[in-house]
Every structure is written in C-alpha cells, then in structure tokens.
C-alpha cells in the first residue's frame, strides 16, 4: 500500500514539475531521451544480473502455480487449476514477463513521444520503473538476499489495487481489515440493541418473524440509499475520466491526422526538388564531360597539326641540306675532273714537245 501511494506521489510531483518546463525545447527533449536511455541500460543490466543469479542458484524445488484464467475463454469443466514448476523456471518466467512489459512500454512511449509529441511520459515512466524495480520480489530475493517468507514466498501474490480496495472492490486482497468505529458503525450497534429489545418483547414466533422481516426491509432500504450515491459517484468519476481521456486521445489523433496531408505534401515537394536537383546535376555532368571531350579533341588536333608542320619543316630542311651537299659534291668532282684533264693535256703537250725535240736531234 505504501509503495502504491509513494508511486502516486512521485507521479504527481513529476507531472507538477514538468508543467513548468518547456517540453517543446529540443534540449529538454534530448535530456529526457537520455534519461530514458539510461533507464533502459539499467534495466538491461538488472535483467542480466538476475538471470545470472537464477542460473547460479539453480533451485529445482517444485512449487504449484495457479493457472491464470482467461476471462474471454473460460476453461472447460474439470480443467486443472494449478501447474507445477521449479523455482528456477518460475523466476525465469517472471523475468521474461517483466522484459516483455518493458518492451511494450517502450513501444508505447516511442509512439507518444515521436508521434504525439509528449515528453513527460519518458520521465514518469523512468521514475516509476526504477521504483518498481526496488519493490520486485526478484530484487528482494536475488539482490537483497531476503528470505522467501511472507510476501516473498513463491508463488508471489499480486499487489492489491489501492483504488479498488478503497471502494471495497479489490478481489485480489487476501483479507479485508476491520473497519474503524465510525458514526455509522455506532448507529448499527444501537440498531442491533433495539432489534434485540424488540425481539425480546415479542410474544410469539409470528411476531418475531414480522419484526425480523421489518428489520431486513429497513436494512435493505438503508443499504440501497447508502450504496446508490457511492456507485453513482464512482460511475460519474469513471465516466468523467474516460471522457477526458477520450477527448485528449481524439485531439491528439486529429492533430496527427491534420499533420499527415502537410507531411505528405512536404515529402512530395522534397522528392520533386530532389528529382530536379538530380536532373540538373546529370545535365551539368554531361555538359562538363562533353566540354572535356571537345577540349581533348581540339588539343589532340592541335598537337597533330604541330607535329605535321614540324615534320614537314624538318623534311624540307633535310631536302635543302641534301641538295646543297649534292651540288657542292658535284662542283668539287667537276673541279677535280677539269684539273685532271688540264694536267693530262699538259702532260700530252710536254710529251709531244719532247718527242719533237728528239726527232729534231736525230735528224
């Protein structure tokens, strides 16, 4: 009971504080996400440690577990109401249920935070989760090493709902404590004494039966008068809470629905802009590639023309040099030939002169 009121007080304190915080501030959202992320890391380490402790203990004692009834599918007649498990399997199943509960809670919080824009549930869930971890029977048994007695005796009994217990509707409670003496109980005691006096003053059994019937009718009327306002008040409060929650959820859903067309239009606009940018980029790339190709062709053609011109100039120079060399060689040869002819003619003339001199000397 103390834990339930402690949790309610913690929730009210956190909600009161979060009202004074700008929950639309990006920095506040980041801090809340980090806090919840740290909580998930703590839960993961907790589950890992408890699993190791369960495996280490390896308790194979058998215990009988009541089978939970499905209200939508009642079991057939004669079906077993209990099942037998080892302590190790029982603790492991409880840990798996806790893990599934954390995952489900995380999925719901993700929807509320990212789709609905709610930030305070992250902090509330973190505080409630940490408080609940300290109260878990597995924490008390495997971390604090407390004996499995009383509330920690397996199978564990569910915690009573404080609201249902307040209205006397908690069926999970083991025992209902005696009500304190109030004005109503004192009135009932005086009524009981008056009834005893009336029964004592009755003359026969018929009168006693009549007195009893009158008392029963009066008690039923009084019970109806007392219970009707309480039931109507509870129903009105429940209806008010349900209407408030329904209006809040409806407003959130309407807000999200209103945002869907705008988000769709923004997405289509973004896709269109991306397509246009992609087309422009492709066109620019093609143009740049074409310019590069044209420049390469022009440079290659210029280099080819320059090479041709250089080769032609070299060929012409070679031809000119060869022609000059040939003419020079021809001139040199002609000079040598002319010189040889002159020498030969002079030799012939000298020979002829010598021969004429010899002929004259002989005559």
Q: What is the DSSP string of 108-151?
A: HHHHHHHTS---HHHHHHHHHHHHHHHH-HHHHHHTS---S-GG
Give the tokens for residue 142. Answer: 């495997």
Buried-exposed string 130-144: b where 16+ CB fall within 10 A, e elsewhere = eeebeebbbbbbbee
Residue 250 has a pLDDT of 57
Residue 94 has a pLDDT of 93
CA 276/CA 282 separation, integer angstroms: 10
Contact 101, 128 (CB under 8 A): no
Residue 38 has a pLDDT of 96
Residue 281 has a pLDDT of 80
Give the tokens for residue 147. Answer: 């004996």
Residue 302 has a pLDDT of 87
Cβ atoms within 10 Å of 123's Cβ, excluding its own: 21
The Cα-based distances of 302 to 278, 294, 315 in angstroms read 36, 12, 20
CA 103/CA 97 separation, integer angstroms: 10
Give the tokens for residue 186. Answer: 């004192």
Q: What is the pLDDT of residues 313-339, one digit of tens each?
A: 888 888 888 888 888 888 888 888 888
Residue 230 has a pLDDT of 44
Residue 235 has a pLDDT of 47
The Cα-based distances of 149 to 131, 140, 146, 154, 155 in angstroms read 22, 11, 8, 8, 11
Residue 300 has a pLDDT of 83
Domain ranges within the chain, ordered by starting residue:
5-68+82-167
Q: What is the pLDDT of residues 131-170, one digit of tens each?
A: 999 889 999 999 999 998 888 989 888 766 555 555 555 5
Which residue positions in the chain have pLDDT lower than 50? 1, 171-193, 195, 223, 226-235, 238, 241, 245
Residue 240 has a pLDDT of 53
- The continuous run of DSSP H or E covering 86 comes out as strand 82-86
User: For the whole model, what pTM was predicted?
Assistant: 0.46
DSSP string, 18-86: HTTS-TT-HHHHHHHHHHHHHHHHHHHHHHHHHHHHHHHH----EEEEEPPP-TTSPPPTT--SEEEEE
Residue 262 has a pLDDT of 65
């Amino acid at each position: 009971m103390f834990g339930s009121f402690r949790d309610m007080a913690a929730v009210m304190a956190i909600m009161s504080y979060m009202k004074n915080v700008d929950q639309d501030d990006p920095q506040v959202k980041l801090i809340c996400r980090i806090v919840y992320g740290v909580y998930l890391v703590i839960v993961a380490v907790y589950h890992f440690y408890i699993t190791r402790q369960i495996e280490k203990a390896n308790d194979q004692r058998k215990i009988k577990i009541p089978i939970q009834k499905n209200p939508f599918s009642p079991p057939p007649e004669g079906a077993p109401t209990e099942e037998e498990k080892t302590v190790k399997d029982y603790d492991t199943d409880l840990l798996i249920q806790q893990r599934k509960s954390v995952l489900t809670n995380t999925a719901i919080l993700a929807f509320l935070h990212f789709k609905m824009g709610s930030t305070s549930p992250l902090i509330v869930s973190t505080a409630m989760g940490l408080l609940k971890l300290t109260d878990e029977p597995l924490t008390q048994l495997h971390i604090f090493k407390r004996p499995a007695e009383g509330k920690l005796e397996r199978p564990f009994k569910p915690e009573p709902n404080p609201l249902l217990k307040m209205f006397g509707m908690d069926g999970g409670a083991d025992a209902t404590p005696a009500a304190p003496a109030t004005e109503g109980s004192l009135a009932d005691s005086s009524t009981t004494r008056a009834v005893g006096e009336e029964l004592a003053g009755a003359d026969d059994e018929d009168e006693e039966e009549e007195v009893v019937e009158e008392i029963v009718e009066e008690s039923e009327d009084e019970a109806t008068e007392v219970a009707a306002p309480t039931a109507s008040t509870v129903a009105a409060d429940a209806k008010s809470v349900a209407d408030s929650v329904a209006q809040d959820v409806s407003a959130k859903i309407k807000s999200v629905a209103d945002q869907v067309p705008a988000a769709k239009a923004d997405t289509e606009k973004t896709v269109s802009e991306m397509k246009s940018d992609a087309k422009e980029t492709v066109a620019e790339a093609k143009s740049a590639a074409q310019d590069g190709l044209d420049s390469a062709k022009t440079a290659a053609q210029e280099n080819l023309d320059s090479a041709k011109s250089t080769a032609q100039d070299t060929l012409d120079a070679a031809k000119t040099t060869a022609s000059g060399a040939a003419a020079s060689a021809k001139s040199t040869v002609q000079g040598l030939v002319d010189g040889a002819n002159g020498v030969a003619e002079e030799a012939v003339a000298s020979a002829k002169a010598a021969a004429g001199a010899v002929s004259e000397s002989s005559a």
